[in-house]
């Protein structure tokens, strides 16, 4: 039984298994600079955490980095999906769009790409505070989902 457990543990890394939140990164991304206009956005903060969790050392100066992740666009939009008979909004859609590129050693490792996710939610003006909180939670969840997508793309380099 012990041998079987040991054999299982030894084969897990070989099959591509890794802990959640830890995406193995290629060598050029081991020292990374994240360039973004808004360094405090949900996406950029999540990306920085994910890169750190995956073993990248984040630097504040692009000259020290072996790779630069450029966040060209980081935008959240909210739009009305449906209205009631009284012309008040009943449903909204929140769309989070990110455009990014990766450079290393003066070459484009990953050309500029756009990733976008959208979620909709119902709206009731009698529950205004709760619905505003729901929108915030949706925006944060979309940012985390986008971080996961970007990290998978970075891992494939």
Mean pLDDT of all residues belonging to the chain: 87
What's the CATH number where 136 sits?
Answer: 3.30.160.150
What is the pLDDT confidence band of residue 18, given thresholds at 50, 70 and 90?
very low
The pLDDT tens digits for 43-83 are: 999 999 999 999 999 999 999 999 999 999 999 999 999 99
How many alpha carbons fall within 13 Å on the CB side of residue 138? Answer: 20
CA separation for the pair 90, 53 (Å, rounded): 40
Buried b (16+ CB within 10 A) or exposed e, 69-93: bbbeebebeeeeeeeeeeeebeebe
Within a domain: 4: no
Within a domain: 8: no
Within a domain: 2: no
Query: What pLDDT is recorded for position 125?
Result: 76
pLDDT-above-70 percentage for the chain = 85
pTM of the model: 0.81
C-alpha distances out from residue 128 to 89, 94, 125, Å: 12, 16, 5
Within a domain: 11: no
Within a domain: 37: yes
Q: Which of 100, 85, 119 is nearest to 36 (CA)?
A: 100
Within a domain: 132: yes
**Mean pLDDT, residues 19-42 taken together:** 86
Range of the domain at 36: 22-155
CA separation for the pair 53, 127 (Å, rounded): 38
Query: What pLDDT is recorded for position 53?
Result: 95
What is the pLDDT confidence band of residue 6, given thresholds at 50, 70 and 90?
very low
Please compute Rg for the chain using Cα positions: 20
What residues does 96 pair with on adjacent strands?
A: 76, 117
C-alpha distances out from residue 42 to 10, 27, 100, 131, 138, Å: 37, 26, 15, 19, 11
Total number of domains constituting the chain: 1
The pLDDT tens digits for 91-145 are: 999 999 999 999 998 899 999 999 999 999 888 877 877 878 899 999 999 999 9
Within a domain: 15: no
Within a domain: 51: yes
């Amino acid at each position: 039984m012990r041998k079987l457990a040991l054999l299982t543990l030894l084969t897990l890394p070989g099959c591509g298994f890794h802990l959640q939140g830890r995406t193995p990164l290629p060598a050029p991304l081991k020292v990374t600079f994240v360039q973004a206009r808004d360094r405090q956005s949900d996406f950029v903060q999540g990306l920085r955490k994910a890169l750190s969790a995956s073993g990248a050392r984040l630097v504040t100066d692009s000259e020290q980095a072996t790779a630069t992740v450029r966040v060209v666009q980081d935008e959240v939009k909210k739009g009305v999906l449906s209205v009631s008979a009284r012309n008040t909004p009943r449903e909204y859609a929140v769309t989070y769009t990110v455009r990014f590129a990766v450079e290393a050693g003066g070459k484009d490792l990953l050309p500029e790409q756009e990733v976008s996710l959208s979620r909709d939610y119902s709206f009731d003006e009698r529950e205004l505070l709760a619905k505003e909180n729901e929108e915030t939670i949706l925006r944060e969840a979309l940012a985390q989902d986008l971080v996961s997508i970007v990290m998978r793309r970075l891992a494939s380099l």
